[in-house]
Amino acid sequence: LSSLIMPESDKPQHTCRLPTVIVVCTVGIFFIMLIAQGVVGAVYIHDCPLLPFIPFYLLVMGGSILLFCLIDCNVICFGSVFIFYFFWFFAG
């Protein structure tokens, strides 16, 4: 009977999954916001009389993240995309 009972060291340890859930939710919200930027930019591309480049900025920011998700990047590609987003963010 004692061989059927597992010792404490062999029992599976319960790990907290809360940080994983938080990261997944944060990344999901981030991608939803980028897709929404692209959609808003595409819908209102000709409807901003005051600053006509705002919809274009939103469209490029949202559309380029979809393109980035579709291609398989190495470290150099990822770095160049990061630099593009950094400067595109400050250009807007």
More confident: 48 or 10: 48
Cα–Cα separations (whole angstroms), residue 28 to 10, 21, 40, 83: 36, 10, 18, 22
- Tens of pLDDT along 67-83? 777 777 676 777 787 88
pTM: 0.62
Tokens found for residue 16: 């907290």
Alpha carbon distance 11, 14 (integer Å): 9
Tokens found for residue 30: 């981030």
Percent of the chain with pLDDT over 90: 4
In sequence order, what are the residues at sequence separation of 6 or more whose Cβ sits closer than 8 angstroms to the Cβ of residue 91?
A: 57
53: burial class by Cβ within 10 Å (0-12, 13-18, 19+)? Answer: exposed
58: burial class by Cβ within 10 Å (0-12, 13-18, 19+)? Answer: buried
pLDDT of residue 7 exceeding 80, the answer is: no
